[in-house]
Structure 1
């Protein structure tokens, strides 16, 4: 009788163990599929974000070519992970030709085209340095008289920073915000639009499969 009970108990335990193993296996498979799904969704987004400095370089180079080749000097731009805006007057054909020339020249090693003295990076770096210097210079002061005593030093410091800020901005462009290695990038379409009443173009960029 005891042997029968042990066998019955053993019979009950075995299916439970098998069911537990199936649940664990299913959980592992689900976890793996969720991981694969996450990678497949996130990888293109991450790649687009990583391409933003390259697109920024293409924006600068295209504007430089528009100015030198087509005499279109009044242009500004804005780079995004999937393309860039150009604000200024030109034809779609000129924008496309300028982009193709810029792309070819960057690929050929003309990395200086990726940098621009008019880039917002220069303004941001200079502004941040001036703001931090002003905060540091005026910290701890409790009266207008104390602030005035530091005014001459602050003015001298801000003048110095306004001179070196753009150079530091160019360095930030070179090391952080632009990347002239644009191999694999190409334009898919150029759309004409308006931004705050100004003629503009959006240049959509894709990365070719490697």
Structure 2
């Protein structure tokens, strides 16, 4: 039988408890999602401002510390030499004024051999060894790109939304890895390592403070490659003395780590 025009049939049955629960769950999900999104955007705004304020200062300090930048270059060269032989690795490094640390499953003899080869090759002109794609500089570069893009888009739109975050994330993923080699080459490393010498290698020791004393203990999987420069006297021996405070004392031809 045809339905006459103008007549609207509705379902007058009351909502079931299952329908009410579904509605409440949907509203709760939207509220939680909105709260998380707002927290993320506010946190990202603050983080971007902090990055813009602190990252340039960190890079400027590296520019002024040439010794640290050259040790950073040798750290990269060492890992590059190892990965040329054995392929990608899980090794990590950290430059220090007196050398660099290398972390990961590696024998001391291989680490020392790779460091010496990397130093020789950089001194012979292979400055590309000072650049490594997994350097922490890549993270700094990505954070800078994300912060600049996010804040610039935020200023243009003048409203807090997901669009500045998405644009910043895309820019960081695309430009961060490409900007990192430039920052490494000109700011965070210095491949001009003429006059550098490798003093040797030892386990990385950290102080373990006990109620009655303090002892130096090795960090598992961490090695310290020590370097010296110019007219510094090379040490033929390293002595570790366990005392309450850790300090370095120069004694003739020897460096004594206290």
Tell me the TM-score normalized by structure 2.
0.55
Matched, 1:124 2:154: no
Question: In the TM superposition, what whole-angstrom CA distance separates every residue of 1:135-160 from its partner, at most 9, and x where no partner exists?
Answer: 33335988xxx423xx3354134302
- Answer yes or no: is the 8 Å Cα contact 2:66–2:190 preserved in 1: no
Match of 1:93 in 2: 109
Secondary structure, aligned partner of 1:147 = coil
Q: Are the counterparts in 1 of residues 143 and 172 from structure 2 also a CA contact under 8 Å?
A: no
Q: For 1:122 and 1:170, how far apart are their aligned partners in 2?
A: 8
Q: Indicate which of 199, 203, 206 corresponds to 2:225.
A: 203
List structure 1 runs of 4+ shifted beyond 4 angstroms.
139-142, 194-198
CA RMSD, 1 decimal: 2.7
Give the C-alpha shift of residue 209 in structure 1.
1.5
Aligned residue for 2:169?
Answer: 158
Q: Name the residue aligned to 1:172.
A: 183
The change in CA–CA distance for 1:114 and 1:164 in structure 2 (over 3 A counts) is same
Mapped to 1, the partners of 2:185 and 2:174 lie a distance apart of: 18
8 Å CA contact 1:121, 1:172 repeated in 2: yes
- Cα distance in 1, alignment partners of residues 88 and 133 from structure 2: 16
Cα deviation digits, residues 150-187 of structure 1 (max 9, x gap): x3354134302321111111101011111111111111
Instruction: Flag the structure with higher strand content.
Output: 2
Match of 1:73 among 66, 74, 89: 89
Q: Equivalent residue for 2:200? A: 189
In structure 2, distance between residues paired with 1:111 and 1:181: 8
Q: How many residues are aligned here?
A: 158
Q: Cα distance, 1:56 vs. partner?
A: 0.7
State TM-score, norm by structure 1.
0.67
Within 2, Cα distance between the matches of 1:88 and 1:72? 12
How far apart are the structure 1 equivalents of 2:160 and 2:220? 43
Deviation at 1:68, TM superposition (A): 2.0
Q: Equivalents in 1 of 2:123, 2:130: separation in Å? A: 11
Q: Is the 8 A contact 2:69 2:190 kept in 1?
A: yes
- Cα separation, partners in 2 of 1:160 and 1:134, compared to 1, 3 Å: closer
Gaps of 5+ in 1: 1-47
C-alpha contact (below 8 Å) 1:72/1:90 kept by paired residues: no
- Change in Cα spacing, 1:166 to 1:72, as seen in structure 2 (3 Å) is closer
Q: Which has the higher contact order (CA 8 A, sep 6+)?
A: 1
Paired residue secondary structure (1:204): strand
Q: Is the 8 A contact 1:72 1:89 kept in 2?
A: no
- The equivalent position to 1:82 in structure 2, one of 98, 108, 117, is 98
